Chains A and B, each alone.
Chain A
């Protein structure tokens, strides 16, 4: 690792650098002076590789279209797409190993925007300021969205569909539980009352799914622990000092909520051992076999087509914001969604950027976000008639006004690991909430350094 940072160039590295420069000059591209996303395209050539994960199946056609369109624009440019049909978590680990190794890396990568800090600090990604400053379309992105992909004053990625989450409630299940079809929780603890009613009266329906442990992957943090800490009036990071909070009354209350959920048998323990538990839980919520689930807004899109029924989904699936402990203003969790990055090691960054600019056109952004429902990142795409016609998308976009954002901090990945341990311990019944909170503080100190952790 140290060698790469070494200011002294070896003879071989120098020759390689010269050779690479020679190629670029021969192709007629001057990397910094001719931004490619602008109206007048520079000549681009060579080959770029676009690597992205996709399990749903919505993205590939848009990626392939952008690749084809870009190749049509620049005859000397070849765009290779590398679709990885694995979960985004597995993709991320695979990608990190490639980025940290010495070999070739893809030019364009597709990872969650909450990873910006840790990727930028590691030197894996390239700042895009010089490109966006000349990109006409950038003006269509609201400032809050731009802030969401900025870190230490630089723009690092281009988002297209923003993340938000809903608490999904099955109207049919709540009705059978005697609470009526319009039941919504008054405060965070009331979620468990609703779940209890389902458990007591509707034996065929799983009351609630609360992700915990490592099996829940990032969902354990983003869809469960973090919103609970917020619901109890706490924070996971102290915004003024940038230090992570290891132990606080809100963290203890959040873990106690886990304890009550799991000891009460309200959420199935299989979540702790099932591979990708969200797959089963999303399916069950869509089929009416699960009553309560806090999940991504995009999940709703999966319930629109077979084996689910669109009309039945609209009739039976209610969606509300996450309640707080006091019954105060409910909230959702916002995020930049999965975003496009140019890798720092890319040998053809101009072409990599050109792909990203090509892909993020108004039309693609609108269409993909209808198919895989997310609020759009560029506001002009929200004006597309088909987008406006979808009530669900209008609601999701409006919910973003109530969004709280997970801060872009480079330690978040490691913090998620500690969150998985803490929630897993409580859910499995290995520890009380208070003990697990103490251990969470210790784990955080071990993982990111004692000087970066405080207790409240």
Chain B
């Protein structure tokens, strides 16, 4: 009984839209033209089309690079490092530790679109601050978004999202009692051993949770890339989420866009199962 409100909310905001997307993916519904007025049921046509769509392989690959680069390598590792440093600083009562803490948090509390525009202001070829600085130094401007599009969006996303992992790990680190370290120190364990034997095992369950949530949110990242490169140049930064949006709202094919969204949902569920199993096995 206690779960009823949660179940209601879930069905309202998650199950309902998912079912709608699933249904729409079986139609040729469009935003314009005759298919907008009278959409037809087309069975699995959209799924067949997706499998034979050469762009789909590209966007899946782009998504993998983006998730691995910005979530797993960037946010996860950087978040963990920052949390360790901050925890260490707090345990030693370094006062200035609040400054990096606040800086990282600030990146996170911005609405994504603002974060996106901040980076546009950095990278922009003509008016961006990076190129203004380079030009002042006598070095020619660099086409950041044209030459290193994927790296550019990955860096922006790491900057944007690291605070989340950092907060989670910081919380977990605070639950480790100081006397464990004291005891280890008395036993003659060096810093590395203390980290390996005590800190890391305590973080393992929370690490799975952090990985799961950042993978999923990064997989669905769309506003940041849209603001920075809109998937370009060509399809160099077109990820699955952006592809679904472009098909649905730029090519006006709602049915096909929904198909891509459904596949994305399935991939997310697969990630979730994988991570949860992994965390249970280790816990």
Chain A: residues with CB nearer than 8 A to chain B? 1-2, 5, 93, 96-97, 100, 115, 117-119, 121-124, 213-215, 268-270, 272-275, 280, 410-411, 413-414, 417-418, 420-421, 424-425, 427-430, 439, 446-447
Q: Which residues of A contact B30 (CB under 8 A)?
A: 122, 414
Contact of B33 among A1, A411, A429 (CB under 8 A): A411
B236 touching A121 by the CB < 8 A rule? Answer: no
Q: Which residues of B contact A119 (CB under 8 A)?
A: 32
B37 touching A122 by the CB < 8 A rule? Answer: yes
Q: Which residues of A contact B120 (CB under 8 A)?
A: 275
Q: Which residues of A contact B38 (CB under 8 A)?
A: 1-2, 5
B235 touching A430 by the CB < 8 A rule? Answer: yes
Task: Tally B residues with Cβ within 8 Å of A.
Answer: 38
Q: Which residues of B contact A430 (CB under 8 A)?
A: 234-236
B232 touching A213 by the CB < 8 A rule? Answer: yes
Q: Nearest chain B CB to A413's CB is how many angstroms away?
A: 5
Tell me the B66-123 residues at the A interface (CB within 8 Å).
120
Q: Nearest chain B CB to A233's CB is how many angstroms away?
A: 27
State whether A269 and B32 are in contact (beta carbons under 8 Å apart), knowing that A414-B253, A417-B251 are contacts in the complex.
no
The answer, yes or no, to whether B230 is at the interface (CB within 8 Å) is yes
Q: Nearest chain B CB to A95's CB is how many angstroms away?
A: 10
A273 touching B31 by the CB < 8 A rule? Answer: no
Could you list 28 A-B pairs, sorted by A, with CB under 8 Å?
A1-B38, A115-B32, A117-B33, A119-B32, A121-B32, A121-B37, A122-B37, A123-B36, A215-B230, A269-B146, A269-B233, A272-B234, A273-B145, A273-B146, A273-B230, A274-B124, A274-B125, A410-B32, A411-B33, A413-B32, A413-B251, A414-B33, A414-B251, A414-B252, A417-B252, A418-B251, A430-B234, A447-B253
Q: Which residues of B contact A118 (CB under 8 A)?
A: 32-33, 36, 252
Q: Which residue of A lies closest to B31 (CB)?
A: A96
State whether A270 and B126 are in contact (beta carbons under 8 Å apart), knowing that A121-B32, A428-B232, A428-B234 are contacts in the complex.
yes
The answer, yes or no, to whether B229 is at the interface (CB within 8 Å) is yes
Q: Nearest chain B CB to A94's CB is how many angstroms away?
A: 10
Contact of A273 among B34, B37, B232 (CB under 8 A): B232
Q: Which residues of A contact B195 (CB under 8 A)?
A: none
B250 touching A214 by the CB < 8 A rule? Answer: yes
Give Cα A137 to B28, complex, Å: 42
The 4 closest A-B pairs by CB, nearest first: A428-B234, A417-B251, A272-B233, A122-B36
Q: Nearest chain A CB to B199's CB is how many angstroms away?
A: 42
B251 touching A447 by the CB < 8 A rule? Answer: yes
Give Cα A414 to B37, complex, Å: 16
Give Cα A447 to B9, complex, Å: 36
Q: Which residues of B contact A269 (CB under 8 A)?
A: 143, 146, 233
The answer, yes or no, to whether B279 is at the interface (CB within 8 Å) is no
A96 touching B49 by the CB < 8 A rule? Answer: no
Q: Which residue of B lies closest to A415 (CB)?
A: B251
A123 touching B37 by the CB < 8 A rule? Answer: yes
The answer, yes or no, to whether B278 is at the interface (CB within 8 Å) is no
Q: Nearest chain B CB to A212's CB is how many angstroms away?
A: 9
Give Cα A100 to B31, complex, Å: 7
Q: Which residues of B contact A121 (CB under 8 A)?
A: 32-34, 36-37
B230 touching A275 by the CB < 8 A rule? Answer: yes
The answer, yes or no, to whether B54 is at the interface (CB within 8 Å) is yes
Give Cα A420 to B236, complex, Å: 14
The answer, yes or no, to whether B227 is at the interface (CB within 8 Å) is yes
The answer, yes or no, to whether B187 is at the interface (CB within 8 Å) is no
A424 touching B227 by the CB < 8 A rule? Answer: no
The answer, yes or no, to whether B194 is at the interface (CB within 8 Å) is no
Q: Which residues of A contact B251 (CB under 8 A)?
A: 413-414, 417-418, 447
Per-residue 0/1 for B132-161: is the Cβ within 8 Å of any A Cβ (1 yes, 0 no)?
000000000001011001000000000000
Per-residue 0/1 for B33-64: is the Cβ within 8 Å of any A Cβ (1 yes, 0 no)?
11011110000000001000111000000000
Contact of B36 among A1, A215, A424, A439 (CB under 8 A): A1
10 further interface pairs, Cβ-Cβ under 8 Å (given A117-B33, A418-B251, A424-B234): A1-B37, A121-B34, A272-B146, A273-B146, A410-B32, A414-B33, A417-B252, A428-B233, A430-B236, A446-B53
Q: Which residues of A contact B249 (CB under 8 A)?
A: 93, 97
